[in-house]
Amino acid sequence: MGEHGERPAGGDMAARVRTYDWSRTPLGPREAWSPALRLTSEMVLAASVPMALRWGPALNLIYNDAYAPTLADRHPDALGSPFAATPAPVRAALRAVQEAILRGTSRGFAFENLPVRLVRDGAPQSANFTVAYSPVPDETVEGGVGGVLVTAVEITGAITTAQTTRDAQARYQMAREVAGVVGAWEWDIRTNKVYADARYAELHNIAPEFAEAGLPVQSYTPAIHPEDRARIRHVAMKAAADGGAFSEEYRLIQADGSTRWVYTRGQSYLGEDGQPARNTGVIVDVTERKKVEAELAAARADLDLAAEAAGLGRWDHKPHIGQRFWDSRARVIFGLSPDEAPSQETFERLLHPDDTPRVRAAVAAATDPAGDGAINLEYRIRRDSDGAVRWVGVFGRGYFEGDKCVRFVGVASDVTEHREAVDRLVRQEETLRLAVDAADVGTWDLNLETGELFWSDRCYAMMGVGAGQPIDIDTFEACIHPDDRARVADAMRQARDPAIRAEYSVEFRTLGRDDHVERWVNTRGKVFFGDDGKAQRFVGAVVNITDRKRAELHLRLLVNELNHRVKNSLATIQAIAAQSFTGQRSLEQAQEAFSSRILALAEAHDLLTRENWEGADLHDVTERVAALHGGAGRFDLSGPAVRLSPKTALSLSMALHELATNAMKYGALSTSDGRVRVAWTLASEPGAPRLDLTWTERDGPPVSPPTRLGFGSRLIERGLAAELSGAATIDFQPDGVVCRIRALLEA
């Protein structure tokens, strides 16, 4: 127990302060210390953050356990030492600051991001701190300032986080460049403000600075295509009302009058009251994907995790007598006026209702003699001066006398910006995840100094490597198609060359290491160089474009095939025209014959087109001829299923058309009782089967052989025989025409 029955603060430095012979210093024995010195030293020793106190004209040093590592090898001998014993470089830097505070001519000073060499667990380390120097009032000394309070807040983690954020932004930017242009937004539904990035604003014809500051949602709707507005409004309002994910494609009219297609995907959130609160997501310019491939980029992130807690408010309570003290900084944090006396009722009134039970429980635990006496908590308040909701972080400790808490001291800081930064980071990571997921983009990160390579899951899949397998640069190079390795290696060399620093953008084939599948990929990346010009990191993203490449190859094959077929068709039409317009018949007759033959050719083409020009069934060919020349009731068709090649189908279709045309003019189909029988069989031949087809007319007018062969007869007996590598004969029997066709079918 300490003086007056009070239990002193725990810890090594508290014990050292109690046993130190202060009578050898200008401060004198502890029993003679002023109330201000006693109170401040106890607060320093109770704090969990690094704190120290320089007191008196000689600025003798008192510090707590958290501050000890910053003294390195001067701890613990530095306890009680005057400022004059400080190492010369430190003394030169701080003399003017501390003397001005002690004289009362300065209200304090702070160093931002101060590098410090310290010792932790016996090992030297480097760290970064925000260090504040503040005056400590003491009415018992001349000038009213008894000492200097030193408060140190370590921000090493924040700096490391900022570097990690920059690295994430670099990978994110690469993903945007490969995936296409991505815009991101967040709609605060309750305030009807849409916060958007520059690309989203550009797509909606809005100045980026206004979009970043927040605009009503109605400011963005004029850019939506008139035909899409009602649909997009319905999707947005339904998602906002129900909560949950949504996705849609729609058009945007650009400032130059052009139209862009975009794909949007996002998430709606309801507030705690069940009402629409927030809507966030991304849009992807998919105009090119409407033609060939999908592109995506994600909304860029701007993460600011600047260090907080540079200003700490001090509070000191004596619960057993109801006495409460807040310094000026604590009053500012809670929004109290300088003349307002803080009370328990005032404090609880400022607490956010949702956090009140939690704060009460934490205070009760810290002031419970059975506990450890510590409080370390973040909670919300409604600031008294303006009603703003703020986050406050507190560190403190209770001191006890028997079973009663007689002192409860600590510090408070406004940590709102820190909490908001964490929340923004979560939302931006969600936005990035949605963008990358929608674009099917893989990301990679190569440390050029250590050779360590990172792949996302999609990268593993595109390289045909089992997920999670150990990888390095040799793994990647082995997955490149041998014919493309030299080209990829040259692109990587130029990107890593500090004299060139070329953009890394290349399309190449991969051969899966484990699945042996060939794929096409499009990869883009960027090399980051150090101050010495050496390449340090190589980051980027990759997209699978195999489907696009296959589509391009298929298109080339279709164009070549189309050229071939068009030439053949034109040659056929030319021959039909030459035979139809011979001068041996009137122009009207020639036109009729030409039109009829072109119709037959078109019918054959139509039949083949339905089969993708892969061939046709003989049943379909004969049924089409019957349908065009009297109907199925005039024809008897019989024979097995025979698959004809496109060439054979065209030739037979033209020949049967000529036979049917002649039958309608002169033969069996010219009378109501006449009929035609078309029968065929298949016979085996060396190398390929043979088709035997017979056309037989009956019950028509008597037939006499013609005095000369017309185009149709020549087409059948000469042209058809040559086309089908077989034979064709027409027999003009008195009972009706009989045509026999023999053809070798293509294997």
How many Cβ atoms sit within 10 Å of the Cβ of residue 245?
Answer: 11
Residue 300 has pLDDT above 50, yes or no: no
How many Cβ atoms sit within 10 Å of the Cβ of residue 409?
Answer: 23
Residue 169 has pLDDT above 70, yes or no: no
pLDDT of residue 653: 81
Spatial contact of 695 and 637, defined as CB atoms under 8 Å apart: no
Query: Which amino acid is present at 540?
Result: G
Predicted confidence (pLDDT) per residue in 685-742, tens digit: 776 788 889 999 999 898 888 766 555 566 676 666 666 777 888 888 988 999 998 8
Residue 597: helix, strand or coil by DSSP?
helix
Residue 278: helix, strand or coil by DSSP?
strand
Query: Which amino acid is present at 264?
Result: T
Residue ranges matching CATH 3.30.565.10 in the chain: 596-744
Spatial contact of 9 and 45, defined as CB atoms under 8 Å apart: yes
Mean pLDDT of 289-309: 39
Separation of alpha carbons 590 and 596, rounded Å: 10
Angle between helices 618-628 and 646-665 (to 10 degrees): 30
How many Cβ atoms sit within 10 Å of the Cβ of residue 720?
Answer: 21
Burial of 499 (0-12, 13-18, 19+ CB in 10 A): exposed
| Measured CA distances, 486 to 369, 430, 483, 490, 691 (Å) | 74, 38, 7, 6, 55
Query: Which amino acid is present at 134?
Result: S
Q: Please work out, in degrees rounded to the nearest 5, the angle formed at the alpha carbon of residue 670 by the alpha carbons of 650 and 706.
A: 75
CA atoms within 13 A on the CB side of 705: 6
The whole-chain average pLDDT of the chain stands at 80
**Closest to 200 in 3D by CA, of 218, 215, 181, 187:** 181
Residue ranges matching CATH 3.30.450.20 in the chain: 3-154, 160-285, 313-414, 441-543
Q: Which residue has the tokens 């045909």?
A: 464
Peptide bond preceding 76 in cis form (omega within 30 of 0): yes
Residue 562 has pLDDT above 60, yes or no: no
| Phi, psi values for residue 131, rounded to 5° | -115, 125
Question: What are 455's strand-pairing partners?
Answer: 444
Query: Which amino acid is present at 431?
Result: T
Predicted confidence (pLDDT) per residue in 194-252, tens digit: 888 888 888 888 888 777 877 888 888 888 999 998 998 888 888 888 888 888 888 99
Evaluate whether the domain defined by 3-154 bears CATH number 3.30.450.20. Answer: yes
Predicted confidence (pLDDT) per residue in 134-148, tens digit: 999 998 888 899 999
Predicted confidence (pLDDT) per residue in 581-624, tens digit: 555 556 665 565 556 656 666 665 665 565 555 678 888 888 88
Separation of alpha carbons 622 and 607, rounded Å: 11
Q: Which CATH architecture has domain 596-744?
A: 2-Layer Sandwich (3.30)
Helices (H), 104-224: 156-179, 198-203, 208-213
List, edge to edge, every strand of the sheet that includes 244-253.
193-196, 182-188, 276-285, 259-270, 244-253
pLDDT of residue 614: 67
Residue 465 has pLDDT above 60, yes or no: yes
pLDDT of residue 24: 93
Least confidently predicted of 464-468, 537-541, 743-747: 743-747
CA dihedral 143, 145, 147, 152 (to 10 degrees): -140
pLDDT of residue 135: 92
Angle between helices 646-665 and 587-610 (to 10 degrees): 140
CA end-to-end span of the chain: 108
pLDDT of residue 27: 92
Q: What share of the chain is helix, strand, coil (3-state, %, to 5)?
A: 40, 30, 30
| Phi, psi values for residue 210, rounded to 5° | -75, -40
280 confidence band (pLDDT: 50, 70, 90) = confident
Q: Which residue has the tokens 């975009």?
A: 262
pLDDT of residue 208: 81
Predicted confidence (pLDDT) per residue in 66-123, tens digit: 999 888 888 999 999 999 999 887 887 788 888 888 888 888 888 777 788 877 777 8
Q: Which CATH architecture has domain 441-543?
A: 2-Layer Sandwich (3.30)
Separation of alpha carbons 542 and 436, rounded Å: 11
Kindly state the tokens that stand for 355: 């956090």
Classified by CATH at the fold level, domain 313-414 comes out as Beta-Lactamase (3.30.450)
Predicted confidence (pLDDT) per residue in 541-561, tens digit: 898 888 888 888 777 765 555
Angle between helices 618-628 and 587-610 (to 10 degrees): 140
- Say which CATH class 160-285 falls into: alpha beta
Kindly state the tokens that stand for 146: 């008894």
pLDDT of residue 2: 38
Radius of gyration of the chain (CA): 45
Mean pLDDT of 267-274: 86
Q: Which residue has the tokens 């949605």?
A: 434
Separation of alpha carbons 355 and 382, rounded Å: 11
